[in-house]
Structure 1
């Protein structure tokens, strides 16, 4: 089958109209959940924009790209979700994508970065999502991560998404509601994605703050020493996962905001500075959370040590009290014939009384010193 035929099959934009008939039978759906497109391929959407508006031109992806390049106006936005190498092959050939960037886009598990391959810009963003839970435990998942890869050219933008969250459907609709902004080209989409990802960071950070507040309240409550330390360690691990998504993005955003890049419009470059500022805020909050968790963990360990010392003092006090009757019983249990008060009528009562008074005095002394 030809490349055009393959793309018709993959994108569902073929002249046969099969997808159009299916689209007329269902309302607009969010193809991000379930993760794979219900249309049977990795393609989430494929749209041509001219003057900031979606065009209704018929044809497949190859025809759309040919029309855009012939007219020199507009761009094509192709959205994919977890494509296989075979599904991505024709797209690679059509847009002349670099093999290293393609490998990263298909395999995923990349750090946030920005790379230039000739006339194409390749950006990787880590997406994050807060996992709702009733109560944080030592096994709770707090932060779920995914990835968005963006191939940016002068007349195209290809988004490759990995993970079951981070849908770009609402973002696409928001951009389409502002044709004037979208008319500035594909770099508008790159900025919108970066802004969307960083806003999600701040949203997740706000949710993590609530978990930290709960742990802090539990630790410094009266039963703080009995708090499971696994909860604190788990939150630190999840915070580290969030940190791995946020911190490496600083350098790519700084480059997008300050370095001249051919495929990024100068007007759009200014907006990346605002995104970079928001990212700095997210980094500062994560660093503050990390320090606070360290302090909470140290406070918890100190509380455990204090509780153990209190327990040892109680054990020692009771052992001292019990030692008095133990000693008396040991002395009078030696079975000597000649012992004081051994055959005295009131000897037993006197020994019991003296032992009880001694134990009571010791108890009062330990109570006064707060050992009991």
Structure 2
């Protein structure tokens, strides 16, 4: 993706050197806290209160603070400092939210679902294919606060990439929100590509001769597709609103890039819909294959039952101990009866084989 360009030319600013603050302890739930000025991170470690005070004192730059699964007590101080709405804070703490976009006064609250593909040897033996998490972002004119739930959606690598591209960060915190959305949607593309490989493997297995595939495994894949759909589909509306100028916190320059993210999301949505339709087809094919196999088994059982009925019938007749039975006193009566029974069994076997019942 091309680098974001700031609106208009940069005006000359007086040389201003801010002394780096003394190192301060960072809480376990605070992953990172940094100040960005002219697209470049200001050296030093900052508390959230000192960081936003520094930015607002000079009226320049923004703060990016990242949190990982904070509880209500831990996030309270940050919420008070940045003026975050209590309802949005409650959603950020509790998690289990659908992707959404909400505006509270001069703050924007966005929820995105993160997705990770779970490595496995074969799609017909695994119990989990997709793992989801959540990432919330509070966007203000001079700050962005990200709250992460789950262990697979870290933003350390993204922050490192953005630190190397000051031209993008010059636009402001909206550029960070775009970068996060772009990274998450790109992960959707990667997951759907690998999911598609699993479906193709399952399809080859189902239509291969003499293979056993249970419908339960395909229903498991449908459940994973449903989980993926719940992460992907609701995000379309928030991205579209950001691209259409839902809030002045996202400048026009960034909106065009949100349109690009929305296009990528449309591709993901179409893929997920195709997965669901394909799995429906595979379920029908599997049930048809199971039904055909059951019919074949029933024909074999019926054929062998018919063959076995011949000696059973002969033994039953001659086992009734009557005095007058056909050929009862004849020397060759027993061999003759056995020969007749064997001949009838062979005849039935050949008939069933000819008709492909055996």
Take 1:89 and 1:137, find their aligned partners in 2: how far apart are those partners?
46
CA separation of 1:16/1:188 partners in 2, compared to 1, >3 Å: closer, same or farther?
Answer: closer
Match of 1:17 among 8, 23, 30: 23
C-alpha separation in 2, matches of 1:97 and 1:246: 26
Unpaired runs of 5+ in structure 2?
1-19
Distance 1:253 1:298 in 2: 36
Aligned to 2:101: 114
The alpha-carbon deviation at position 40 of structure 1 amounts to: 4.8
- Is this contact kept in 1: 2:40–2:166, CA < 8 A? yes
Name the residue aligned to 2:223.
237
**Cα distance in 1, alignment partners of residues 105 and 265 from structure 2:** 28
> Once the 2 structures are TM-superposed, how far is the Cα of residue 332 of structure 1 from its aligned partner?
2.0
Equivalents in 2 of 1:186, 1:124: separation in Å? 16
Q: Distance in 2 between matches of 1:339 and 1:145?
A: 79
> Which secondary structure state, in structure 2, belongs to the residue aligned with residue 341 of structure 1?
coil
Equivalent in the alignment of 1:256:
242
State whether structure 2 residue 346 is matched by structure 1 residue 365. Answer: no
Shift in alpha-carbon separation, 1:59–1:287, aligned structure 2, 3 A: closer
327, 331, 343: which one pairs with 1:341?
A: 327
CA distance in 2, matches of 1:60, 1:335: 104
Q: 1:327 to 1:60 in 2, by over 3 A?
A: closer
Which of 70, 73, 93 is the aligned partner of 1:86?
Answer: 73
CA contact (8 A) 2:114 2:135 kept: yes
Q: What is the alpha-carbon root mean square deviation over aligned residues?
A: 1.7
Q: C-alpha distance in 1, partners of 2:43/2:126?
A: 49
2:33, 2:45 within 8 Å by CA — same for their partners in 1? no
What CA distance in whole angstroms lies between the structure 1 residues aligned with 2:70 and 2:112?
17
Deviation (angstroms), 1:118? 0.6
Count of aligned positions: 339
In structure 1, the partner of 2:161 is: 174
Could you tell me how far 1:234 is from its partner in structure 2?
1.2
Q: Deviation string for 1:77-123 (max 9, x for gaps)?
A: 11111112121111111111111001011111110000000110100
Q: CA deviation at 1:323?
A: 1.4
CA deviations on 1:271-306 (whole Å, 9 max, x unpaired) are: 001100110111110110011111111111111111
Structure 2 Cα separation of the partners of residues 79 and 324 of structure 1: 81
Which of 271, 283, 287 is equivalent to 2:273? 287
**In 2, Cα distance between equivalents of 1:17 and 1:172:** 20
Quote the Cα distance in structure 2 between the aligned partners of 1:191 and 1:260: 14
Alpha-carbon distance, 1:312 to partner: 0.7
Contact kept, 8 Å, 2:35 with 2:51, in 1: the verdict is yes
Question: Against the structure 1 CA distance between its residues 16 and 257, is the aligned structure 2 distance closer, same or farther, given a 3 Å change threshold?
Answer: closer
8 A Cα contact 2:23 2:46, kept in partner: no
SS at 2:154 equivalent: coil
SS in 2 for 1:236: helix
TM-superposed CA distance for 1:338, in Å, is 2.4
Q: What residue ranges of structure 1 are gaps of 5+ in the alignment?
A: 1-13, 20-38
